[in-house]
Structure formats: structure tokens, C-alpha cells
């Protein structure tokens, strides 16, 4: 039919940061799965081509490079991008994602996967207009110290949700790692895509 108005559903644009192992095939597959639904996903490489097979190796590299430098490299990755972004990060990548969501004007949302820092790291409070989701396994030893920060974020922010999944794996969303949990990862993806549709 001609003359009928066409309503276009606006897609989200996401800046997604990798975890301490670098840009693993599983991390890139996660980004591709989001792209397949029509969203735009940017995946800057904060490790300059390096990747690792164990968390210990990846964390050692990040410590040697400097966590502060990795954080600032993530912040700089947004410089040439629009302000109306959803910021997302896996574990280590949650640092720049959270900082940008809290401090860069125009954020449409934040997705913090496997990690959450205290809001006080980057400001006095979480921006009231920025929705946020935190996802982690309930018995993940790496998330233990972050859960207090996540609980506080949910209590203080206007639009915040914490989703805990049964298990003790850290990077359970990365299908290229032994920690991968297909059921939990599929449920997380459902929630992420619903969040992006509303962002």
C-alpha cells in the first residue's frame, strides 16, 4: 500500500568493552548476537591485539599495563562516537562502561556484566535518567566484593536491576571459555535485548 506511514523502531548503539582475557571469540560472538537483532555494537580492543586463555594471565597483563590506563583507553574509545550510547562491559570492561555511563552526558543505559564498582568511584550518584542492569552468578567469587556495590546501586538509582544466576562461574556468557553456561547466558541475552529495545 502507498501513502501509509512507516514506523521505524530506533535501534540502540552500544559501546561494549571486553573482559580481562581480551577479545576472545566468545566475547565477539556475544557482540555479533546483539548485532543480528539490528543494534549497532562497537567493540574497542583495550589490549592492542593481546588475548589470554586464563583469568590469571589476563589480570596479570592488565595489572602490568595499568588498570587506570585501561580505564582511560576505554573512555577515549567513546570520543569519536555519539553521546546517545548504551555502555556495556564484561568484568574488567565494566570499569570504563560504568565511568562513561556516570560521567558522559547523553547515556541511554548501562549493562554491567560480571562486575560492578561503587558509584562513588566516578561521582556522587548514579544519573537519574540512565537505566542500568547488573548481571552475575550468585556464587561467583570474583563478584563477591562487587555485590555490595550492586545492591547499593539498585537501592539508590531510579532505574536499576540486579540479576543473579545460579552458579559460581565468572565469565559464564563467553561461549569460548570453560566457564560458559548456555542456559544462564541465553536468559541474560533475553534480558539484555529487552533492555536495549527500551533504551
pLDDT of amino acid 7: 39
Domain with residue 57: its CATH number is 3.40.50.1820
* 157 in a structural domain: yes
Query: Cα–Cα distance between 47 and 193 in angstroms, integer?
Result: 27
* 3 in a structural domain: no
pLDDT of amino acid 199: 83
Q: What total number of domains does the chain contain? A: 1
* 143 in a structural domain: yes
pLDDT of amino acid 128: 94
Residues 6+ apart with CB under 8 A from 48: none
* 1 in a structural domain: no
What is the chain's Cα-based Rg? 16
pLDDT of amino acid 6: 41
3-state helix, strand, coil in the chain (%, to 5): 40, 15, 45
Can you read off the three cell numbers belonging to residue 81?
562516537
* 176 in a structural domain: yes
Phi, psi of 134 (to 5 degrees): -120, 135
Query: Cα–Cα distance between 178 and 32 in angstroms, integer?
Result: 20
Full pLDDT tens readout for the chain, 199 residues: 445 554 345 599 999 999 999 999 999 999 999 999 999 999 999 999 999 999 999 999 999 999 999 999 999 999 999 999 999 999 999 999 999 999 999 999 999 999 999 999 999 999 999 999 999 999 999 999 999 999 999 999 999 999 999 999 999 999 999 999 999 999 999 999 999 999 8
The domain containing residue 34 runs over which residues?
Answer: 13-198
Query: Cα–Cα distance between 75 and 46 in angstroms, integer?
Result: 10
pLDDT of amino acid 8: 40
Dihedral (Cα; 166, 171, 174, 177), 10-degree rounding:
-100
Amino acid at each position: 500500500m502507498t501513502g501509509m506511514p512507516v514506523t521505524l523502531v530506533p535501534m540502540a548503539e552500544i559501546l561494549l568493552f571486553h573482559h580481562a582475557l581480551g577479545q576472545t571469540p566468545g566475547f565477539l560472538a556475544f557482540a555479533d548476537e546483539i548485532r543480528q537483532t539490528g543494534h549497532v555494537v562497537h567493540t574497542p580492543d583495550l589490549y592492542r591485539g593481546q588475548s589470554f586463555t586464563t583469568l590469571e594471565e589476563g589480570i596479570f597483563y592488565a595489572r602490568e599495563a595499568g588498570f587506570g590506563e585501561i580505564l582511560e583507553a576505554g573512555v577515549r574509545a567513546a570520543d569519536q562516537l555519539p553521546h546517545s550510547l548504551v555502555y556495556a562491559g564484561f568484568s574488567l570492561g565494566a570499569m570504563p562502561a560504568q565511568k562513561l555511563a556516570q560521567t558522559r552526558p547523553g547515556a541511554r543505559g548501562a549493562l554491567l556484566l560480571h562486575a560492578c564498582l561503587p558509584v562513588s568511584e566516578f561521582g556522587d550518584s548514579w544519573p537519574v535518567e540512565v537505566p542500568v542492569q547488573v548481571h552475575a552468578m550468585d556464587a561467583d567469587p570474583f563478584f563477591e566484593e562487587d555485590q555490595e556495590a550492586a545492591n547499593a546501586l539498585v537501592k539508590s538509582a531510579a532505574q536499576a536491576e540486579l540479576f543473579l544466576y545460579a552458579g559460581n562461574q565468572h565469565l559464564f556468557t563467553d561461549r569460548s571459555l570453560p566457564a560458559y553456561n548456555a542456559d544462564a547466558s541465553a536468559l541474560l541475552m533475553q534480558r539484555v535485548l529487552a533492555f536495549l529495545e527500551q533504551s
